[in-house]
Structure 1
Amino acid sequence: MKKILLSSLLFLSSLSFSNTDFLNDSITLELKDSIITAEKFETPIRDTTKNVYIINKENIQNSGATNIVELLKTIPSIFIGSGYTNEGIIDFRGQGETSKSNVLILVDGISQNSIDMSGPDLSIIDINNIERIEVIPSSGVVYGDKAVGGVINIITSNNKNNIKLDVGSYGYSNSALNTSNTFGIFTINNNFSKTFKEGYREHSNYNKENFGTDIIININSNNKLTFTYDYNKSFYNYAGSLTKAQVENNRTDSISGKGSTFNRKNNYSLNYNYESNKLKLENKVSSYNKYSEGWSKINTAYFSNNLKIKYSFSNFNIINGIDFSEASSKTNSTNKIEKNQIGMFSLINYSILDNLIINGGYRNETTKLDYFTGKEKKYNQNLFSAGINYLYSDTGNVYLSFEQNYRTPTTDEYQYAIYNWATYEITGYGYKENLNPQKSTTTEIGHKEFFANTYINTTIFNTITTNEIFYNPSTFSNENIDGTTLRNGIEFSTKTNIKNIILSQSYTYLIAKINDGQYKNKLIPWVPKNRYNASINFKLNKLNFELDYNFVGKMYSISDWNNQYGKINSYSVVNFTSNYKFNNINTYFGIKNLTNTKYYDYVTYGSSYYPAEEKSYYIGINYEF
């Protein structure tokens, strides 16, 4: 904690030298930026009653990140781990080990979350084609099931012509090609990339390929049609866990729990947009099929149809939407499970005065689970939201919001296998009839202001959850936590521009604990109380340098609900990136984990450790044509 306070004081002291004479446009754009994810239509950030974050194209280029996991680490209230299979786990606002089912991951508005506990596979998302990432907390009314902690929408764009090549430590290499051509009303974009890495640890190599194409038809000024196809293929080995003694002997070793996974995925979508002065309409039909082979062979199919309409009037607007999805998972070509959902929502934004806006929302969603045994299960939820936003000046606003969120049990939380332990054969299946959906309410108070040359963002939030679903290691089953769980947090961030220097920092303080039941007054595992990030970006003509500092505080390990194994040590990581632009060529070089910090990406039960990478280097070139 002392490191955080010292870093904060050093950083804040630099603000006293700020002078508006040195100001340029890079920060004022923060006030004018818009976000799509909040209401499914483009909305100015100042008009939202939530603490939203945007990672834009420039942020991505300066980050030196090679995957989604690295890219999201600087967002307040987001805590990242690689997971035991390196697929990536994103925790948002203290969801802990169940974050895979409590944080909704979207790619261009299409859900990537699975119907079981495995969660989304972030490793197959191609970072080369990411245009921006929008992060918004507590979004149950707009998105429904699983948007408990929030929503992360990864927005892609292929409308460029470039060739890119990266190489780095641990046998890393990445090559990418993008082309874009316009013929009258038609635009055709294509992309291809290939990534390979030997890995930091033994038995941790991976390779993946991505191919995609977009066909955009600009019918006229009001109508647009977009067809998208993406193909992803990946194979990776994972090294498994180590004991503390094994880590101290050789942290790169692979001894127990190792394995491998092969994935192949085809994505299709057809999107229709209509826009006039007062009416906006979008209908997106999407589908994907995925084959995975690891401990078992799994075929997954997904189909969705999302329709939304926005009516705008002089002082208010209304957004109505219908979301339909059906997903199925078939294990070893026999055991098929289906999950169907239909949700309807409505949002209203009303300007009482020019600078005072209120909003309200409602969603009804029905979920149905169908099992190969003939078992069916249905859930129905009603959710409400409300907010008020006071724009007290041209640059500042304060807001208050309230929202309900929920998630249903995943297919393998509700169903469990019955074993003959003498032969390790499955003899039947049972169902957790007493396992209920969890429901939460989030209240948020926030303040945004642009003062002198500094953008300041402060948020206080409170989330109370009833019937939180978790895996209880003492009973070896998925259960509801008796009573309630509580998450209280403060998020603070600033961004300062002094001529050609940009200083950024963010701090999150988060308490996540259990109020009742077997684990009363225990802290929720895998949730750090303190997180701090700071960066300095320096531009000199065609050169750009950035130094990032990331601090993660102490926390309990995965599944340590009794808080009995002691906390995992805090750690700090420093990264350096640089790039040089000359005409159409951009070269870049970076060092990750500059101070060679030894820490862990993942720790379970206080005894199984997954070491993170030590210092590594990368260099690359990007040519635009």
Structure 2
Amino acid sequence: MRFTIVLLFISVFSVAVKAQSIKGRIIDEQDQPVPDASITIKGSFIGAVSDREGLFKISLKQPGTYTIIVQSVGYQPNEQVIDVQNSEAATSFTLVRAAGSLKEVTVTASRKAEVVDRTPASVQVVNEKQLQTQLLVSPNLSNILGQIVPSLAYSSNATSNTGQTLRGRTPLILIDGIPQSTPLRNGARDFRTIDPSVLQRVEVIKGATAVYGNGADGGVINYITLQPQTAKKFNAYSSIARTGMLAHADGTGGFRLNQHFTGKAGKIDYAVAGLYEKTGEYKDAKGGIISPVYGLGETDIVNVFSKLGINLNDKNRIEVMYNYFGSGQKSKYIQQIGKYGVTPTIGVEGETKGEKEGTRYNHNAYVKFLSKKLFLNSTLETSVYGQKFYTVYGWSASFENGGQSTIRSDKKGVRSTINTPWSIGNSIRNEVLYGVDYMNDVTWQELTDGRIWVPKMDMNNLAPFVQLHSTIKDHWIFKAGYRLDQVKIDIPSFTQIKTSTTTGGKLINGGKLDFTASTFNFGLRYAKWELFKPFASFTQGFSMVDIGHYARGAKENDIANMNLEPIIANNYEVGFSSSVNKVSLNIAAFASTSKLGSTLIENNGFFEQQRAPERIYGIEGSIDVASIKSFLFGVGGVYMEGKADLNKNGNYDDAADAYLTGRRITAPKVTTYVKYVPNNRVLVHAEWLYSGDRKRFQPKTNGTYTFGEGPVNSYGIVNLSASYKTKKDIHFFGGIENLLNKDYYAAYAQWYAMNDYYIKSNGIRFNAGIGLKW
């Protein structure tokens, strides 16, 4: 009898436990539902995502008091404390629309979640809504980021991101923390290594950073992939779009197919996505075929993505991610060389030599373990990752008997971070992040016929680090850190490839390189007033010289005699953010110096590295205004300049010194937008993109310009996009690039100052399609 009573009590208690939950609804200021909002219980992995009516439900194991955090892209976070007893607790959240991105959360800047406007540095988050809006016009990530991030140079409108620098230096590109850049031999194809349809957001750290290692002297751009939606066991989204030119449309038709699946079943959540795109011919405003070399036209693109998470319990989680990206161009056109400053280089019908140009594959994968509430309430995040990259460039007659170059890179690594909080009294809260990064990178460049242009360079990079984050009396935010990169590179002997001018054929003796780079960072922000949150920071970043590019044309016979010292960039920055009512403002002045920079220059028809002290400085800013309920508008821009101290006397204004070329320094840049959002179903977005003049160099005696020194003339283009979602979850969308069909050369084509790169940009292009949630 006693056993029966106990069993009955346990059964009743179990039913009561199962019945405990929190349910509610997420709405905005206009009482409209907010779908896809993230609802989480603070300090755990338990959470849900709101459905299309803004509804959610979270099941709990036991009663108690819980802190609930609600976040959604484009809105300020909302936090509530809810007391849950032996029944269902009901609540609602009203989200206030953020004027800009100041309330966005970044994990890249400090390897932990923190609000952007409480970070003592310039950090920008390109959220999912911004990505989706830009995706209506162009799926090219180089275009998207060039339009949204003020201090990032405009896109080259090509497969190469050569010259697309961030504050005058090359950024480190990551996918979920996995390095995409190949600093040992920079092939400038790291921007377009994933399709934006599988991204949750992009986090941009501007200027040098010591938080990450090799390649971060120009900052970091981290592509954060999709997170699973956990409100239901199964969610799906399908879309199809037609693309092409609106003028001179013959042969330009293409399409995009996109499929997403996501959901949660028990302790397992998942996200799976696939993308296939086929582009037609790309034409300029007058109907000329844009050169197929490095071109975006007549290309097949495939992206396959999957992410699986297992919540072992409330404190521990395992996550696995895999992404494949590949592209291949099959063109019926060949390049017809124009004349720089006179006639464009175009495509004419002909048979392309060699193999398809494009990125054959870019595989990225990680296994991540996350654990909360360890010793001293510490958290642990450890990720084991791998990347395999293979890209093919166009056939070139510059090699002896012609040839086609490729770059391969295989990376394996581990990132492990522990975050330990501790306090001093009631007024100082601290967090110490510490851990280690290890990466092995094997990169080489060969021709498709097997000739070695750059041998297999084998790099091992071990880097312990520590970061202190302190909040003093809730208003002062202080950050300081140190990182020690220990780099060993093994380079085998090789023979330089012969060119069509019979140069090359020289034996280069290999060797082992050993570098140690200590980098520091510290910053301070005062965040008491929303109206004015000033900050100042000093950060250092470290990057290897492009060893492969240097060695393949080096005058020295031995690796040991080459000037391959790494770059240490010192970045100084002061600025402030402001958010009042529905206006947000960001302004930052910056300067970046390096005792030994690296700039690619032309010397008698050959490219070589210019090693000299460098100084870059500038100012950037953005303002976003939600003027009335349905309208938002904003302006962003940057001005920067840079010089090299060629005689190395500490003075940058001597006659012997020189401005940095257009490959490094972008012309003044302004972007503006107007957005109409009357409700969560309608969006109309218009933007104007302007690139100013930059004319710092004189022509040579024959009237031509040296590589990178071409004068840049101003231009501006207008883009337009719109979308509409029905109550039955049908999504109609469309976008127009270069709405006014402007005939122009992008800055890249102008400063490059070479006949074969003097290529016009797109004329008026469209993207129109339909999507369905089911």
Q: In which range does the TM-score fall when normalised by the shorter chain?
A: 0.7 to 0.9
Instruction: Give the counterpart of 1:205 among 298, 302, 305.
Output: 298
Deviation sequence 1:144-174 (CA, Å, 0-9, x none): 2211221111111163521111111132311
User: Conserved in 2, the CA contact under 8 Å of 1:389 and 1:399?
Assistant: yes
Instruction: Give the secondary-structure state (helix, strand or coil) at the position aligned to 1:415.
Output: helix
Aligned to 1:363: 483
* Residues 245 and 387 of structure 1: CA distance in aligned 2, closer, same or farther (over 3 Å): closer
Partner of 1:49: 120
Question: Aligned residue for 1:347?
Answer: 467
Do residues 448 (structure 1) and 577 (structure 2) align?
yes
Superposition pairs for residues 386-535 of structure 1, below 5 Å?
A: 386-416=522-552, 433-474=562-603, 476=606, 478-482=608-612, 484-497=613-626, 498-517=628-647, 520-526=657-663, 527-535=665-673
1:3 alignment partner in structure 2? none
CA deviation after TM superposition for structure 1 residue 481, in Å: 3.0
In the other structure, the counterpart of 1:4 is: none
1:228 alignment partner in structure 2 = 321
Amino acid at match of 1:310: N
CA drift at 1:352: 3.5
In structure 2, relative to structure 1, the CA distance for the partners of 1:77 and 1:543 (3 Å cut) is: same
Q: What residue is the counterpart of 1:93 in the other structure?
A: 167
Alignment-derived partner of residue 139 in structure 2: 66
Displacement of 1:291 after TM fit? 3.5
CA 1:271–1:325: 2 relative to 1, 3 Å? same
Shift of 1:353: 3.1
1:80 pairs with 2:154: yes
Give the distance between the partners of 2:340 and 2:210, measured in 1 at CA: 48
CA contact (8 A) 2:291 2:346 kept: no
Q: 1:258 to 1:508 in 2, by over 3 A?
A: farther
Q: Structure 1 residues 336 and 606, CA, compared in 2 at 3 Å: closer, same or farther? A: closer
Partner of 1:60, secondary structure, is: helix
Map 1:190-339 onto structure 2 (within 5 A): 190-200=272-282, 201=290, 203=292, 204-236=297-329, 242-244=337-339, 248=343, 251=346, 253=348, 260-262=356-358, 263-276=360-373, 278-294=377-393, 295-296=404-405, 298-314=407-423, 315-330=429-444, 331=446, 332=450, 335-339=455-459
Cα deviation, residue 87, structure 1: 5.9
Are the aligned partners of 2:530 and 2:579 in contact in 1 as well (CA < 8 Å)? no
Which secondary structure state, in structure 1, belongs to the residue aligned with residue 133 of structure 2? helix
8 Å contact from structure 1 (residues 241, 254) kept in 2: no
Measure how far apart 1:333 and its partner are. Answer: 9.0
SS in 1 for 2:262: strand
Q: Which residue of 2 aligns with 1:590?
A: 735
Q: Which moved more, 1:295-304 or 1:439-448?
A: 295-304
CA contact (8 A) 2:317 2:371 kept: yes
In the TM superposition, 1:3-152 aligns within 5 A as 25-27=96-98, 30-63=101-134, 64=136, 65-73=138-146, 74-82=148-156, 85-86=159-160, 90-95=164-169, 102-114=170-182, 115-152=184-221
Which letter maps to 1:173? F
Counterpart of 1:282 in 2: which secondary structure?
strand
Which is worse superposed, 24-33 or 611-620? Answer: 24-33
SS at match of 2:713: coil
2:291 touches 2:759 (CA, 8 Å); kept in 1?
no
Alignment: residue pair count: 589
> What per-residue deviation string (whole Å, max 9, x for no partner) do you get for residues 17-50 of structure 1?
xxxxxx9822267443210110111111122111
8 Å contact from structure 1 (residues 304, 323) kept in 2 = yes
Q: Say if 1:229 and 1:139 are closer, same or farther in 2 by CA, change over 3 A.
A: same
* Higher deviation after alignment, 35-44 or 386-395: 386-395
Q: Tell me how far apart the structure 2 counterparts of residues 83 and 249 of structure 1 sit (CA, whole Å).
A: 15
Specify whether residues 161 and 433 from structure 1 end up closer, same or farther in structure 2 by C-alpha distance, changes over 3 A only: same
Instruction: Answer whether contact 1:252 1:611 (CA < 8 A) is retained.
Output: no
* CA distance in structure 1 between the aligned counterparts of 2:345 and 2:554, rounded to whole angstroms: 39
AA aligned to 1:532 is V
Report the alpha carbon displacement of residue 93 of structure 1 after superposing the two structures with TM.
0.6
Task: Trace 1:145-184 onto structure 2 (pairs within 5 A).
Answer: 145-157=214-226, 159=228, 161-169=236-244, 170-184=252-266
**How much has 1:415 moved relative to structure 2?**
2.2
Q: Identify if the C-alpha distance between structure 1 residues 339 and 59 changes in structure 2 by more than 3 Å, giving closer, same or farther.
A: same
Q: Is the Cα–Cα contact under 8 Å of residues 525 and 559 in structure 1 kept in the other structure?
A: no
Deviation at 1:522, TM superposition (A): 2.4
Q: Structure 1's 143 and 564: CA in aligned 2 closer, same or farther, altered over 3 A? A: closer
Query: Alpha-carbon deviations, 1:474-526, whole Å to 9, x = none?
Result: 264533433x2221111111111121100111121111222333961424324
Look up the SS of the partner of 1:128 in the other structure.
helix
State the alpha-carbon separation in 1 of the partners of residues 254 and 408 from structure 2: 30
* Counterparts of 1:195 and 1:247, CA distance in 2: 34
Q: Secondary structure at the match of 1:148?
A: helix
* Contact 1:555-1:568 within 8 A present in 2 as well: yes
- The answer on whether the counterparts of 2:511 and 2:559 sit within 8 Å (CA) in structure 1 is no
- In 1, Cα distance between equivalents of 2:320 and 2:203: 22
RMSD: 3.1
Q: Give the secondary-structure state (helix, strand or coil) at the position aligned to 1:276.
A: coil
Deviations 1:373-403 (A, max 9, x none): 2511111111111111112314531011011
The corresponding residue for 1:540 is 678
Gaps of 5+ in 2: 1-93, 229-234, 245-251, 283-289, 394-403, 424-428, 494-509, 648-654, 700-704
> Contact 1:166/1:621 (CA < 8 Å) preserved in 2?
yes
- From the CA coordinates, give the structure whose radius of gyration is larger: 2
Distance 1:588 1:442 in 2: 42
TM-score normalised by length of structure 2: 0.71
For normalisation by structure 1, the TM-score amounts to 0.87
Match for 1:154: what amino acid?
Y
Contact kept? 2:337, 2:344, Cα under 8 Å:
no
Query: Where does the alignment leave 5 or more consecutive residues of structure 1 unmatched?
Result: 1-22, 96-101, 420-426
SS of 1:72's equivalent in the other structure is helix
In structure 2, the CA distance between the partners of 1:29 and 1:72, relative to structure 1 (3 Å rule), is: closer
Deviates more, 1:543-552 or 1:510-519: 510-519
Q: Which residue of 2 aligns with 1:9?
A: none
